[in-house]
Amino acid sequence: MTSNPHAKAVPLVEVRRGEMLESLHCGHAVICDPEGGIVAAWGDPDAVIYPRSAIKMIQALPLLTSGAGRDLGPRHLALACASHNGAAIHTDLAAAWLKEIGLGEADLRCGPQMPDDRPAREALIKSDASPCQLHNNCSGKHCGFLTLNRHLGGGPEYIAPDHPVQKAVREAFETVTDETSPGYGIDGCSAPNFAASLHGIARAMGWFAGAADRSDSLSQAATRLVAAMRAHPDLVAGEGRACTELMQAMAGGVVKTGAEGVFTAILPEQRLGVALKIADGATRASEAVMAQLLIRLGVLEPAHPAALRRAQQSIKSRLGLDAGVIRCVEGL
């Protein structure tokens, strides 16, 4: 992999306080059509990154193409693509899913995580209980892995890079990015996260955007996953989260965030896919750029509260005084 994938990163988001430019976030963004052609780009489309959770819909493809998830409903599929808050709507569904396939929380390999959902977190604190693996934001993805693993007949350590589950994931990833991955890193949920170029990731999102026009099994699986995410944005992330709020505000399509400043979008009506990466990993910057690109592409109203909270974030003092603004650079 490139030693410095951000050497050609360009300014994308500026933080202004008063008249001064206080901070600057640089990065890359690529918009692709279903054939993988670049429609627009900022920075270096060839920058190789770990896409983190922004490509969970790719990781869920083998669940459907294998036949393992044939009987799963949209709520299960949305959770398989989720980085959720660990609210009851998430953990209850994950627990029920595991029970349906004859497994339990102990079979997960994602690790425990304190939930981001405030009621769930406070309930754990008040009861002096510890979070479990169901609270992990990736537990839905891992329920999908376990369902696929039961179908494939693999061993219990399904997160191993050479396990049949992860081999299937890598094959799907390399197919839709149209690249041979140069390697992987271990994600926060302990599963391998395969690297690709920003162009490859945007190409994959564009491929998803055009999936309804094709009849092959991989495209049919992609269409089901996008429809599930669109139908259940509350399961994909949760209350107050960018993915959920932007999808609820958008005129079609889905978005998915990932750690370290990664964000993707699939826009079937526009037949476009988007991938972006903020070089310093700042979430405030990745959310701002994604919101601005959705506005640019005509699927998000600039005046919608979900857009204003991200594309034009007001900085306030502790007394509520206007102090500055976080906004995208001109031309984005």
Where along the chain do its domains lie?
10-328
Is the domain defined by 10-328 classed in CATH 3.40.710?
yes
Answer yes or no: are the C-beta atoms of 121 and 115 closer than 8 Å: yes
Alpha-carbon span 86 to 158, nearest angstrom: 22
Q: For residue 5, what pLDDT is reported?
A: 82
Q: 218, 296, 288, 299: which is closest to 254 by C-alpha?
A: 299
Q: For residue 1, what pLDDT is reported?
A: 56
Ordered alpha helix ranges (H), 178-241: 198-209, 217-231, 233-236
The percent of the chain in helix, strand and coil, each rounded to the nearest 5, is 40, 20, 40
Exposure of 321 in the CB half-sphere (CA atoms within 13 A): 6
Q: How many CB atoms lie within 10 A of CB 61?
A: 27
* Amino acid identity at 10: V
Alpha-carbon span 14 to 26, nearest angstrom: 9
DSSP lists the bridge partners of residue 196 as 49
Ordered alpha helix ranges (H), 67-163: 74-80, 88-100, 118-126, 139-152
Alpha-carbon span 6 to 4, nearest angstrom: 5
Written as six digits, the tokens of 306 are: 């979900």
Q: For residue 250, what pLDDT is reported?
A: 96
- Low-confidence residues of the chain: pLDDT under 70: 1-3
Alpha-carbon span 294 to 213, nearest angstrom: 22
Answer yes or no: are the C-beta atoms of 263 and 201 closer than 8 Å: no
Alpha-carbon distances of 225 from 168, 236, 254, 280, 310, rounded to whole Å? 17, 11, 10, 30, 26
